[in-house]
Chain A
């Protein structure tokens, strides 16, 4: 996994609430057995007509948002199916950060596994960023994970919380499995104890 580094990018506003993972990547595109290449079908039914032409007023089709790296989203983003194809599609498109008032749990943890940072902020602060994002490509935000700060195009600074372990993994591009295997002894001890206590499992 690549290390998460401070960057400045365009933020796209998507104020719709309850954007589900079926919207992010419809199931017809889940049939690949690879992890890459989903970006072209990101938000497919919202982004394209049936004949493949673009739906002009969809935010990521607008010229000023085509290279967005940040999404400012409505409440409960990523609800529904657990498909990791949703963060894969976002990441493949170029999205690194999503800001919302809340995220569905599974989607939230899937993001971190793919080097992406979902940020939860109170409504008032999401509103400020949404407004900033609506200004288009002139509104470039900076996301600094180390300092846990977003800087708006006007220079306002908004702080955010992030789980310390997840932050450490993102900043260092760490592989979860490798980290867990360092604790193989604990797992082995647990298994020995559990097989005594609950041999039927």
Chain B
């Protein structure tokens, strides 16, 4: 038998039908659903008189629109349009009988944080969601990717997806990371290397010592942004770190079932000599704390760098860089550490987990954020929030001057009231610095949680290594 990659193995275990031309029906083990991309799909089922094929494998939670203020139980905190979407999900979840975590449930949060937290996401599974950051679940060695609403309807109706196999790409991070360098810096550095289209058509497997050394939280951060490099899915082979995280979660297998699962999970690795169509290697010790300067996640530089000049680029990227620099209100040659910030957003499915909040607390403990700074910490789920409170992190944040919010997607995509105003500049732990992403004409610099915390203290983009 020819050697297989991890992706090959998971793929092969889920093909329910293969046509002569290689078009497959891929069976889906977990379907995560949120309010923005599902209403039309449920409506499609209703119109066609169809049901949800496997409601037990379908998990819904509202996250994009939900307010993050403490008074959010009051319906007046939501715009009428947002309320309609959340209420539609309430209704659809009930009518079609899928698992549901409403806004009032302490387990509610960002769908990609709730899934792993509740043990829905397990190694070797296929996981989809009408959201591109579904790649997050690849951290468990699950084949996980975002789909459109028509595909959401297709999965609801058939529990399968029509797919052709992607190519295999290996991203290896060798050696150890330097202090102050995190999973976020790894994933941004990789996108800086490959570009936002570099992973198009591929499934990435992240490997190497620096990846192995990461916690599950860190691995989720890395895989989360696979899509920003163009890859539908990113994978990390499961290991002891994975099994320890999964064990004991509410929906993880128990007892003999866990042992049986474990035996299979231990076969989920890339065989020696398996073929990769593309390989990218970075040295862990070369990666520095990074920031984005432009309006594409590939616009990445070490914090010690300067704003580039459009002429530094080639082809279509020259005009794109010109447009980005103008949009961002920067000057070529300007030191990144001279860029002043007025807003800090800490949260999102990229960096809204407990470890991220601990990293922030470490930087801001006993200090105060800069006068006039708007700094917001939005935990990824109600349970992350509860844990942070139990660990005393929330007190540290509030004493430093941060707003301590309820769980949701919040200012990552600003579909709820958490938005940037025109011209505001934000250091954000989220995943996209696109034009208008965090609010009309808002400006976003993507950073790690520690770097965001440092910027909140100084009022400028700051090298976190100077503060800890």
Interface residues of A (CB under 8 A from B): 15-18, 20, 22-23, 26-28, 30-35, 45, 50, 74-76, 79-84, 87, 102-106, 109-110, 113-114, 163-165, 176-177, 179-181, 183-184, 186-187, 189-191, 194, 197-201
Question: For residue B197, which residues in chain A have a CB less than 8 angstroms away from its CB?
Answer: 18, 75-76, 79, 102, 104
- Considering the complex of A and B, which 3 residue pairs feature the smallest CB-CB distances, nearest first? A31-B81, A200-B253, A113-B150
- CA separation between A45 and B437, bound complex, in Å? 11
Give 8 A-B pairs besides A31-B79, A82-B147, A104-B197 with Cβ atoms closer than 8 angstroms: A16-B323, A18-B197, A27-B414, A83-B37, A106-B146, A187-B27, A194-B27, A197-B13
CB closest chain-A residue, reference B39? A33
> Shortest distance in angstroms between B224's beta carbon and chain A's nearest beta carbon?
13
B160 interface contact, C-beta 8 A: yes
CB atoms of B122 and A201 under 8 A apart? yes
Question: For residue B415, which residues in chain A have a CB less than 8 angstroms away from its CB?
Answer: 27-28, 30-31
CB atoms of A81 and B132 under 8 A apart? yes
> Shortest distance in angstroms between A184's beta carbon and chain B's nearest beta carbon?
8
CB atoms of A79 and B196 under 8 A apart? yes
Question: For residue A180, which residues in chain B have a CB less than 8 angstroms away from its CB?
Answer: 25, 154, 157-158, 160, 162
CB atoms of A186 and B320 under 8 A apart? no
B84 interface contact, C-beta 8 A: yes
- CA separation between A18 and B323, bound complex, in Å? 12
Contact of A23 among B88, B130, B316, B435 (CB under 8 A): B435
B40 interface contact, C-beta 8 A: yes
Given contacts A22-B437, A180-B160, A199-B257, contact A109 B151 (CB under 8 A): yes
Number of contact residues on B: which range applies?
35 or more
- CA separation between A106 and B150, bound complex, in Å? 11
- CA separation between A20 and B132, bound complex, in Å? 12
> Shortest distance in angstroms between B104's beta carbon and chain A's nearest beta carbon?
21
CB atoms of A82 and B88 under 8 A apart? no
- CA separation between A27 and B88, bound complex, in Å? 18
CB closest chain-A residue, reference B82? A31
Comparing B16-24, B300-308, B458-466, the segment that makes contact with chain A is B16-24
Contact of B43 among A33, A110, A194 (CB under 8 A): A33
CB closest chain-A residue, reference B318? A17
Central interface residue in A17, A22, A102, by most chain B CB within 10 Å? A17
CB atoms of B132 and A80 under 8 A apart? yes
CB atoms of B23 and A82 under 8 A apart? no
Interface residues of B (CB under 8 A from A): 13, 15-17, 19, 21, 23, 25, 27, 29, 36-37, 39-40, 43, 48, 50, 57, 65, 79, 81-82, 84-85, 88, 122, 124-125, 130-132, 145-151, 153-154, 157-160, 162, 164, 166, 195-197, 200-201, 227-228, 230, 232, 253, 257-258, 260-261, 264, 296, 298, 315-317, 319-320, 323, 413-415, 432, 434-437, 440
> Shortest distance in angstroms between B135's beta carbon and chain A's nearest beta carbon?
10
CB atoms of A32 and B132 under 8 A apart? no
Contact of A176 among B17, B79, B145, B150 (CB under 8 A): B150
CB atoms of A109 and B320 under 8 A apart? no
Given contacts A27-B415, A31-B82, contact A181 B158 (CB under 8 A): yes
CB atoms of B440 and A45 under 8 A apart? yes
Central interface residue in B36, B166, B264, B415, by most chain A CB within 10 Å? B36
Central interface residue in B131, B146, B153, B434, by most chain A CB within 10 Å? B434
- CA separation between A23 and B38, bound complex, in Å? 21
> Shortest distance in angstroms between A187's beta carbon and chain B's nearest beta carbon?
5
CB atoms of B253 and A76 under 8 A apart? no
- CA separation between A86 and B260, bound complex, in Å? 43
> Shortest distance in angstroms between B65's beta carbon and chain A's nearest beta carbon?
7
- CA separation between A165 and B25, bound complex, in Å? 13
CB atoms of A30 and B148 under 8 A apart? no
CB atoms of B21 and A17 under 8 A apart? no
CB atoms of A201 and B132 under 8 A apart? no
Question: For residue A17, which residues in chain B have a CB less than 8 angstroms away from its CB?
Answer: 315-317, 319-320
CB atoms of A105 and B201 under 8 A apart? yes
Question: For residue A18, which residues in chain B have a CB less than 8 angstroms away from its CB?
Answer: 196-197, 296, 298, 320
CB atoms of A187 and B17 under 8 A apart? yes
- CA separation between A74 and B296, bound complex, in Å? 14
Given contacts A80-B434, A104-B230, A177-B158, contact A163 B151 (CB under 8 A): no
CB atoms of B232 and A187 under 8 A apart? no
Question: For residue A194, which residues in chain B have a CB less than 8 angstroms away from its CB?
Answer: 27
CB atoms of B23 and A165 under 8 A apart? yes
CB closest chain-B residue, reference A112? B150
Question: For residue A45, which residues in chain B have a CB less than 8 angstroms away from its CB?
Answer: 435-436, 440
Question: For residue A75, which residues in chain B have a CB less than 8 angstroms away from its CB?
Answer: 197, 316
Contact of B150 among A23, A110, A183 (CB under 8 A): A110
CB closest chain-B residue, reference A44? B436
Contact of B36 among A22, A30, A79, A113 (CB under 8 A): A30
Question: For residue B319, which residues in chain A have a CB less than 8 angstroms away from its CB?
Answer: 15-17
